[in-house]
Amino acid sequence: MIKLHDRKNKNYAGGGSPLGNFHRVANMMRSYPNLRQGDPATAVIGMVVKQIDNILWAMNTERFYSETSVDEHLADISVYMTILRCLRSDNQPLTMKENLQ
């Protein structure tokens, strides 16, 4: 598990705290206290913020143009945005009761 964490975490924390990406994403999401935690759209946005954090960290550590995974993160954002558009077109946010089922 340590090897897996080190490999996966290189993109998110290279040169910083091993858990820095979690703290940065949490701080970004905390800026919006009225987000509906049970809404799938909020979950999708959380995933997008995670991808954006990775890209910003690559820029911050001067790896934006050399890190091959950056393009994967950009592609992931495109997919997540399409999913978010589908959720919006349904226009039916889940209630807390429905989320628990």
Is 0.85 topped by the overall pTM? Answer: no
CB atoms near residue 51 (< 10 Å): 20
Mean pLDDT (whole number) for 19-42: 89
Task: Determine the pLDDT at residue 80.
Answer: 96
pLDDT band (50, 70, 90) for residue 15: low
For 11, residues 6+ apart whose C-beta sits below 8 A from its C-beta are 54, 57, 58, 67, 69
Mean pLDDT (whole number) for 4-32: 77
Task: Determine the pLDDT at residue 30.
Answer: 92
Give me the sign of the Cα torsion angle 5, 68, 15, 45: negative
* Residue with more model confidence, 12 or 32: 32
Domain boundaries, the chain: 2-100
Dump pLDDT digits (tens) for 32-84.
999 888 899 999 999 999 999 989 988 988 889 988 889 999 999 999 999 99
